[in-house]
């Protein structure tokens, strides 16, 4: 098949506003197994959004945007149900920013001839296709953004802020998580920032500018996110998948304690995953296990073992249609971080002792 025939049917993004799933979730709560777990998880997610003192941190792993989940995340941002995001680079750069530049993901075939796809510069994510030639434009755009910044060390949050500013100037009508978060002062952290298209663009930038260039400091990410934990006090985690984002955001409790603060464990925690706990890996480790490390409270926690493109829209739809977000005030953590106020150790210590 010709390339244009393979890249024909676009992946469409879900709109949780169109279907009120609250009655379905409530019925699932009267059943068993993962249906009942999902219902309890949805109730915990709604509780953290309804808590006026809680900062809600969303983590994203796996391939979510390419699978039609961007609209779900945008709706959560637009109803102030998310205060910070910790993600893999693929979701934020290769997929969301990629689409904001005007490109799309396409429905494909998991049984396709991958060698034939490679020869046509088509990348496959299970049953989804991406045009590699377009993806390289995304890589190049990251290099262009890096070239415009003052040489120095940046957190991924600061660089993604610059990506949001780029979109606001060049693609102001894009349906984009990066752009929406930029406009709403919601910080996005990507701890493994080089492990995506951003890495290719930044390598090219540093090769051209070997002595004065932009570099990304993951420790700065960790410090900034720890500062949010110290200042926020009560925190809730909504974790889609596992991986680096899950561990990174859980560890900020320990980081705050190591700095001498009396930081409470995450009071709310939900994880949607297909990973198995029995191999000892992080992605499948239970939230009860995280309690032994002093990271997550057992008061309101729930694991749901199910594929996220099924469970996430249902949970988010429940939160949206329950409507408890309507009284919620934005936290504007990105603005507070940019001001430097959150990183003032003396001020943070005084705040934590209140």
Contact 155, 84 (CB under 8 A): no
Q: Which of 114, 113, 115, 108 is nearest to 129 (CA)?
A: 108
Total residue length of the chain = 354
Burial class (CB in 10 A: 0-12, 13-18, 19+), 235: buried
| pLDDT score at 90 | 96
Q: Is 186 helix (H, G, I), strand (E, B) or coil?
A: coil
pLDDT at 120: 98
Q: What per-residue confidence (pLDDT) applies to 344?
A: 86
pLDDT of amino acid 45: 98
Q: Which two tokens stand for residue 229?
A: 């934990």
Residues identified as active-site: 295
User: How far apart are the C-alpha atoms of 85 and 182, rounded to whole Å?
Assistant: 12
Per-residue confidence (pLDDT) for residue 282, from 0 to 100: 80
Q: Count the neighbouring beta carbons within 10 Å of the beta carbon of residue 316.
A: 27
Question: How far is 71 from 93, CA to CA, in rounded Å?
Answer: 16
Q: Three-class SS of residue 240? A: strand
Q: What are the residue ranges in the chain where pLDDT is below 50? A: none
pLDDT in tens, 257-268: 999 998 999 999
pTM for the whole thing? 0.97
- Say which residues have a Cβ less than 8 Å from residue 47's Cβ, sequence separation at least 6: 268, 300
- Report the b/e string of 83-119 with b at 16+ CB within 10 A: bbbbbbbbbbbbbbbbbbbebebbebeeeeeeeebee
Query: What's the pLDDT score for residue 197?
Result: 86
Residues with Cβ within 8 Å of residue 287, at least 6 apart in sequence = 269, 271, 296, 298, 301, 302, 303
């Amino acid at each position: 098949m010709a390339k244009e025939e393979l890249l024909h049917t676009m992946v469409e993004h879900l709109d949780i506003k169109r279907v009120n799933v609250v009655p379905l979730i409530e019925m699932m709560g009267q059943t068993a197994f993962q249906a009942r777990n999902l219902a309890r998880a949805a109730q915990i997610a709604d509780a953290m959004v309804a808590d006026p003192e809680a900062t809600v941190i969303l983590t994203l792993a796996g391939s979510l945007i390419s699978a039609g989940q961007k609209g779900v995340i945008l709706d959560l941002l637009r109803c102030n149900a998310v205060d910070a995001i910790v993600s893999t680079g693929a979701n934020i750069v290769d997929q969301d920013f990629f689409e904001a530049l005007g490109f799309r993901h396409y429905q494909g075939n998991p049984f396709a001839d991958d060698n034939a796809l490679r020869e046509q510069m088509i990348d496959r994510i299970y049953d989804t296709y991406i045009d590699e030639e377009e993806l390289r434009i995304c890589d190049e755009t990251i290099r262009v953004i890096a070239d415009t910044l003052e040489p120095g060390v940046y957190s991924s949050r600061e660089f993604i802020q610059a990506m949001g500013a780029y979109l606001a100037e060049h693609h102001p009508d894009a349906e984009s998580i990066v752009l929406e978060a930029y406009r709403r002062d919601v910080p996005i952290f990507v701890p493994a920032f080089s492990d995506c298209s951003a890495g290719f663009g930044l390598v090219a930038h540093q090769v051209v500018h070997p002595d004065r260039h932009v570099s990304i400091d993951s420790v700065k990410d960790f410090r900034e996110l720890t500062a949010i934990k110290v200042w926020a006090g009560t925190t809730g985690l909504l974790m889609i998948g596992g991986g680096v984002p899950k561990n990174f955001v859980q560890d900020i409790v320990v980081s705050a304690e190591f700095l001498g603060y009396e930081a409470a464990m995450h009071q709310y925690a939900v994880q949607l995953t297909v990973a198995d706990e029995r191999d000892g890996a992080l992605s499948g480790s239970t939230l009860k296990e995280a309690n032994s490390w002093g990271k997550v409270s057992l008061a309101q926690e729930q694991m749901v073992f199910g594929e996220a493109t099924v469970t996430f829209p249902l949970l988010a739809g429940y939160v949206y249609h329950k409507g408890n977000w309507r009284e919620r005030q934005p936290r504007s953590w990105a603005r507070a971080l940019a001001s430097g106020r959150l990183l003032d150790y003396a001020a943070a210590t005084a705040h934590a002792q209140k």
